[in-house]
Amino acid sequence: MSLSRLYLRSFIILLVFVSLAFFWILMPFYGAIFWGATLAVIFAPVNRRLLPMLGNRRNLAAFLTLAIIVLIVLVPLGLISASLVQESMSLYKRIDSGEFNLGRRVAQVVEMMPAPLHELLAGFGVHDLASLREQLSDGILEASKLMAKRVVSVGQDTFGFFVGMAVMLYLLFFLLRDGMELATKSRSVIPLSPEHQQKLIQKFTTVVRATVKGNIAIAAIQGALGGLMFWILDIQGALLWAVVMAVLSLLPAVGASLIWGPVAIYFLMTGAIWQGVVMTAFGVFVIGLIDNVLRPVLVGKDTRLPDYVILISTLGGLAVFGLNGFVIGPLIAALFIACWDLLPSAVRHSFREQGALRE
């Protein structure tokens, strides 16, 4: 083995080791780094528009862009989170005191079911309604206690939250200011042709912007409309259910119907016919229509991913990465498809380069 090859192999081993160590020490802040980079990609056009207006002063443009992000993203999110914590604690107290008994309400619906459905439940081992009511009540109480503990733990981990937020904002400022230079340096180390680099970077930015803007817009609209209807129908905890519907709206096809659907069934089975009809009609023709109309336009059209790929990659991303997965999942899927699409042209380009070197 020549000395040059030994040197190159040793350097690659060192590079891999140092890179893995670097990613390892960044893991505690991976969420802050991820959202800092994501927001930088989304708001980069705003920063570029501000630059000529401010005489190409990059620091000032990045600072104003950061202020815009804080005002339109972080402040509303903080206010909603504070209200959600209060409402969650209030719901837990009502469940713990017995004022709100979901098990009793579900058992009431089961009692009103027709005989064939009772036989179906019996096939699953549900015979005793009293036992069912008790099991559901215990389950809901335990779930509410777990939710309350999570809320309290989030409040107790305020220091860690603010540290993560500070890291995200600090990184976001420099990504906005130096983003173009970092992108240029990144291209120089990617062993691909300029054409392939451009396609991959374009796919990356397109998927991030479409997924975040599209999914968050759809989730916010569906959650707000669902919460408004819950408030009109005098369903307690409307804000909490609005946030839950907004989170579930990240899942294509099913989404918010996992919340408003059972509520509509409960109304219909307990004799509140007009409430059930209104909830069903609003859920199908308003909330559902938003998902069917806006999601292909805001998400699928820009990412050029089939609906089933978006659904599966979103579910897989959420399962692996938590809430961050609704962006990471479709992003990985889009890059996977883009890389395989580029493979034939990359192979042809490699053969052409080898032929040119031989000549």
Distance between CA atoms of residues 228 and 214, nearest Å:
21
Three-state secondary structure call for residue 249: coil
The distance of Cα 306 from the centroid of its chain, to the nearest Å, equals 18
Cβ neighbours of residue 245 under 8 Å, at least 6 residues apart?
222, 223, 226, 227, 255, 256, 259, 260, 287
pLDDT > 70? residue 59 = yes
Alpha-carbon distances of 222 from 138, 275, 350, rounded to whole Å: 31, 19, 48
In whole angstroms, what is the distance from residue 32 CA to residue 171 CA?
9
**Per-residue pLDDT band at 317 (split at 50, 70, 90):** confident
Residue 255 pLDDT more than 90?
A: no
- pLDDT at residue 208 in the model: 77
Least confident of 53-62, 83-92, 93-102: 93-102
Question: Which of 84-93, 103-112, 312-321 has the highest mean predicted lDDT (pLDDT)?
Answer: 312-321
- The one-letter code for the residue type at 352 is R
> Given this model, what pLDDT does residue 296 score?
64
Q: Give the mean model confidence (pLDDT) for residues 276-294.
A: 82
For the entire predicted model, the pTM comes to: 0.69
CA atoms of 189 and 99, how far apart (whole Å): 62
The more confident residue out of 305 and 282 is 282
C-alpha–C-alpha distance, residues 228 and 241, integer Å: 10
pLDDT digits (tens, 9 = 90+) for 9-20: 888 888 888 989
CA distances from 12 to 9, 15, 172, 179, 350 (A): 5, 5, 30, 27, 22
Summarize pLDDT for 70-97 with one digit per residue, the tens: 998 888 877 777 777 777 677 666 666 6
The band of 169, judged by pLDDT with boundaries at 50, 70 and 90, is: very high
In this predicted structure, what is the pLDDT of residue 102?
56
Instruction: Kindly tell me if the per-residue pLDDT of 100 is higher than 90.
Output: no
